[in-house]
Structure 1
Amino acid sequence: MLSELAIRNFAIIDDLTIRFSNGMTVMSGETGAGKSIIIQAVNLLLGSRADGRMIRQGHEAAEVEALFLPPAQSPAALAMAANDLPPQEGLHIRRVLSATGPHRIYINGRMATAQLLGELTDQLASIAGQHAHQRLLDENLHLDMLDHYAGLEHDKNLYQQSFTALTRTLRELEGLRQKSLKAEEEADFIAFQINEIQNADPRDHEDTELETLRKRLRHAHTLAQTLSLVVDQLYEGEEAIAGRLSVLHREIEKAASLDATLINAASDAESLALRCEDLAGHLRQYLDGMDMDPAMLDQVEARLHLLSRLKKKYGGSLAAVLAHREGLEKRHKETGSMEERMEALTRHLEAHHRETARLGRILSEKRAESAEKLARAVEQELSDLCMTGTRFRVALLPLEESRNPWLKDGEQASLGENGRETAQFRIAPNVGETENPLSKVASGGELSRTVLALKTILARNEAVSTIIFDEADAGIGGSVAEAVGRKMQSLALTHQVICITHLPQIAKFGHHHFRIAKTVEKGRTRTAIHLLAPEERPRELARMLGGAAISETTLAHARELLQEAHT
């Protein structure tokens, strides 16, 4: 339940504290006194978006805070325990709106995020005001209301998990099919490229080696002439260097026999002669192995031309050509594995489809059964609210037919994110009329009572302990208002009910009554709230009955209303 609410510098409220109790609490006051601002403050504490424009003029910040006492084992209490907040201490929420900096949230004295606030307050309190009227007219929410009434959240969650797996597998299979089609279109071209590179069978750096060979073959005659001359002068000619070095070696040996310090010089001369002979031998081998065949040059030229063409087509280097071939071969293998993957995905898709269709049928059957029960329950509640003879129906409408066979259950039913159908609330307020969508036939008063009827029914299944009614008296009066007030009083037996109203026929049923008034002090408007004592309530009801001028007759009528409501 909501135990205490404090508001500071919020709109026209400078400093206001309200302490609430169990049962039915009524708030009344003149139009513009600030009743709607109190609802805005509560909405803010339940997680609605903060707006700096709500800060009271002349101030840099506004604060709203509340203490909730969630029942043990309620969703709010369990959420608190899951976030290391002892439920027995209550849930203290404080929001600070800043005109210059970021807005802040505090939960039990600690800074918190909007996400945590939403988790803790999701089923803490329920506000039935203008927003509830809009929700009731939004046909996209009717199915959620039916499922909530029927307690189908678990069944719906199982279905949605299966449907998500179905659509995920379907997207994966479709993506793989598109990839496979593209691969098939490219298959011949890929095969041609692989064959072209395989037939050429290039080696890394082969082009560099061939360039060297081509240069040698192009200049073979020049090389032969030059090297033959060098060999002749080194070793084979009459004045060959090798022979002359041998003679010099012998002369230095003679000198070394006379002076031992020349032994190393003699050894160096011998080494020069031997190295000269080795060089000549190496060059002779090179000359003997030279290929002077012009056909060899033609083959090298042709091979280099082939490799050059491959490099231009596939990356600019032989390393790139070889990497391209490796990539092509990998893609070719993947194309083969795609078929196996698609077969496996199809089997998974069939299993997901069977399970989703099965869960969808179960959900549809339970919805059909609960739709009839909800309709009868709403009709009974509306009868209590002076709408006897009203027919209410929860129409279950099939989804638009899907073109995808995997998103269908048989020939007729399509499968959607929330099941096989949508829901639409239909009503016939007058006997003999045809049931039509609620948004097209309900007047303001009929809509208010339908909201109250649904709130009364759904409250039996809701975990919230606090229900706030704002504008519940829109479009009604007289005996209808009396019926609405009595219904709220009945609801207050199991829930904390807070009602803002202009009608004395509703206000009289309250166990507690606050009067909200707007005053002007020192040139500034401010809102004040006062808990009426039992002896003060007749005057407030008299004001609501007859306005500012209160007569003894009006007061007597007010006392009579209070006596009727609490006997």
Structure 2
Amino acid sequence: MVNRLLIKNFTIIDKLDIPIQPGLTVITGETGSGKSIILEALAATTGGKTDKIMVRSGTERAVVDSRINNNSFRRIIGKNGRSKAYLDDTPITLAELRKRIGSTIDFHGQHDQQFILNAESHIEYLDRFCGHKDKVRQLENIFYQLQESRQSLKDLHRTTSERKEKLELLSFQAQEIDAANPQPDEDHDLGSEYRRLNHLENILSFLNTLKGRLDNRENGLMNELIQLNKELSRLIEYDVGLQDLYDLLNSTTIQLQEADSEIREMLVKSEFDSEQLSSVEERLQALESLKRKYGGSLDAVIQTRKDIEKTLKSLSLTAKTDTDQEHLIYALEEEYKVLAKSLHKNRVNKADQLASLIEKSMQGLNMPGAIFQIRIITIPSDDSFISLDGAFVQALPSGMDKVEFFLSANPGEQLKPLVAIASGGEVSRIMLAIKTVFQEFDPVPTLVFDEIDSGISGKTAEKVAKQLLKLSQLKQVICITHLPQIVRKADHHLHISKTIHDGRTTVNAKYLHGQMSKNAIRELFIGDTVLG
């Protein structure tokens, strides 16, 4: 269980020290107040991805530290993007940190929704329920060994001359790619940087003009607004109805001050450098040349380099006899068939049980009459080595099975592929239903939800709130929400707000109780009839 989270100089957060209790903790706040940043910081302490942009402007490093089960897990992120991990003040590798965290925390966010909307991922949910992931990994190793062995056999059939010519060509291609050393998405990042640098003079000119319009002492917009608001504040004494207008103008002034601060920071950091522009342009040209030769995209270039490496290793191996290689392939095929058929049998036996549990959980989330089905199919293949019910089927890394979820969200509707018909609100509920099912079979002490309430409202929101509360009776649940129904069910209400002082943004976190919690709900959700 997470007991405490300390955040320092992380994105826009100066310093926060947040105690976290058992049960259901909800996090509320206006859009942009920093709610998701809190969860990003927690994820970083458990081995999540970090980046130099996470370091607060004007500081050297960011520190995030979570106390979990009486252990301190800390990440220190430098402004160069490098990070260090610590366990109770002892340096450890990131892999060791992730291993120690293990299955202590389960994060649910937009990535999970994208994952379940990819039909290729559905088999992973079923395999997790079946409890045979080790066997799946074993089968995957056999499958790839088979691929390499078959390729090696083909290589043995090539003449010495062909092998030599191919080695020379592949070696040249490998050297050409290695010399450029392309990185994933580098061309997109450089393209954005090139466009920025190419128009930097125009950008800086505009920013200087805008800065002059904002902060000019006599004629600047901020000065005029401040003066107008002073006049307005005096008039409130005679008409309290002007208070809302005063608050609105005051908020606008704060936003303009924040914009002015941001403009100043951008002007300080930005400086036109023709050499940098030329360097970026040259690098883009080098990457475009590689893309033209090796597949049309940078991902294709990188994959081509990996394929070249595999082929080079295969061609460089000491040649074995055809007979030895054929015996090896036969043995691997037999091993694959035994394991694949065992996995198939287990999946077939467990699919209906998992579907029934998910369907039952969905009914508790305001999806009455919904039908959830897990279908397992095989792909016919005449040139395969494995058969099922007398017909040869395609061998895949995880076996002979393709798994896909089907859904009928409303009574009378035909079952259709989940990925084709599920709405945003339905996906949120299905994910929560799956999380609930797996908590009973594969429990995790702490669940973290980043806006699980996306796309839902009304009675559905009430059902989701009850489900989260039910989960929190067995484990710690932390949830960002915009719904009053969920806030009212919470054991703890953490409210996030943002203020600006001396041109710097500060994020505040405070637990609300009683009337203060009700007032925060009313302020955030004013106009919702649920409030009564």
Q: TM-score by structure 2 length?
A: 0.65
Identity %: 31
Q: Is the 8 A contact 2:119 2:404 kept in 1?
A: yes
Q: Is the 8 A contact 1:408 1:415 kept in 2?
A: no
Instruction: Name the stretch that deviates more: 98-107 or 520-529.
Output: 98-107
Distance in structure 1 (CA, Å) of the matches to 2:473 and 2:87: 29
Residue 484 (structure 2) pairs with residue 504 (structure 1): yes
SS of the residue 1:502 aligns to? coil
- Aligned twin of 2:169: none
Equivalent position of 1:256 in the other structure: none
Matches within 5 A, 1:160-559: 160-178=140-158, 341-399=321-379, 401-402=380-381, 404-406=383-385, 411-534=391-514, 536-546=516-526
| 2:34–2:496 CA contact under 8 A, matched in 1 | yes
Counterpart residue type for residue 43 of structure 1: A
**Distance across 2 between alignment mates of 1:11 and 1:511:** 28
Deviation at 1:355, TM superposition (A): 2.3
Q: Could you say if the C-alpha distance between residues 503 and 338 of structure 1 is closer, same or farther in structure 2, counting changes exceeding 3 Å?
A: closer
- Secondary structure of residue in 2 paired with 1:405: coil
Secondary structure, counterpart of 1:528 in structure 2: strand
Matches of 1:167 and 1:416, distance apart in 2:
11
Q: Give, in angstroms, the shift of residue 127 of structure 1.
A: 1.1
8 Å CA contact retained: 2:362, 2:368? yes
CA distance in structure 2 between the partners assigned to 1:422 and 1:4 by the alignment: 43
Q: 1:272 is matched with which residue?
A: none
CA change 1:442–1:182 in 2 (3 A) is closer
- In the alignment, the residues of structure 2 paired with residue 475 and residue 182 of structure 1 have an alpha-carbon distance, to the nearest angstrom, of 60
Distance 1:398 1:182 in 2: 38
Partner Cα distance (2:148, 2:387) in 1: 16
2:21 alignment partner in structure 1: 21
Q: Contact 1:146 / 1:374 at 8 angstroms: preserved in 2? A: yes
Residue matched to 2:3:
3
Distance 1:521 1:547, change over 3 A: farther
The aligned counterpart of 2:45 is 45
Provide closer, same or farther for how the CA distance between residues 402 and 45 of structure 1 changes in structure 2, counting only shifts above 3 A: farther
CA shift for structure 1 position 474: 0.8
Q: Shift of residue 534 of structure 1?
A: 4.2
Question: What is the CA–CA distance in structure 2 between the aligned matches of 1:408 and 1:116, rounded to whole Å?
Answer: 42
Aligned to 2:99: 119
Aligned partners of 1:180 and 1:405: how far apart in 2? 30
Deviation at 1:402, TM superposition (A): 4.9
**In structure 2, what is the Cα distance between the partners aligned to 1:528 and 1:175?**
64
- Provide the rounded CA distance (Å) in 2 between the counterparts of 1:405 and 1:30: 57
User: Equivalent residue for 2:57?
Assistant: 57
- SS of 1:32's partner is coil
- Output the CA distance in 1 between the equivalents of 2:12 and 2:382: 57
Give me the whole-angstrom Cα distance separating, in 2, the residues matched to 1:365 and 1:46: 36
Q: Which amino acid aligns with 1:464?
A: V
Deviation at 1:136, TM superposition (A): 1.4
**What is the one-letter code of the residue matched to 1:2?**
V
Alpha carbons of structure 1 residues 509 and 166: separation in structure 2 relative to 1, 3 Å: same
Which AA in structure 1 matches 2:516? E
Report the structure number with the largest CA radius of gyration: 1
Q: Cα distance, 1:26 vs. partner?
A: 1.1
Query: 1:361 Cα shift?
Result: 1.1
Q: Any stretches of 5+ residues in structure 2 without a counterpart?
A: 164-317
Distance 1:27 1:101 in 2: 28
| Superimposed CA distance per residue, residues 256-310 of structure 1 (whole angstroms, 9 cap, x where no aligned partner) | xxxxxxxxxxxxxxxxxxxxxxxxxxxxxxxxxxxxxxxxxxxxxxxxxxxxxxx
TM-score (norm: length of structure 1): 0.61
For residue 407 of structure 1, report the CA deviation from its aligned partner: 6.2
Partner of 1:68: 68
Distance 2:387 2:489 in 1: 52
Larger mean CA deviation between 488-497 and 431-440 belongs to 431-440
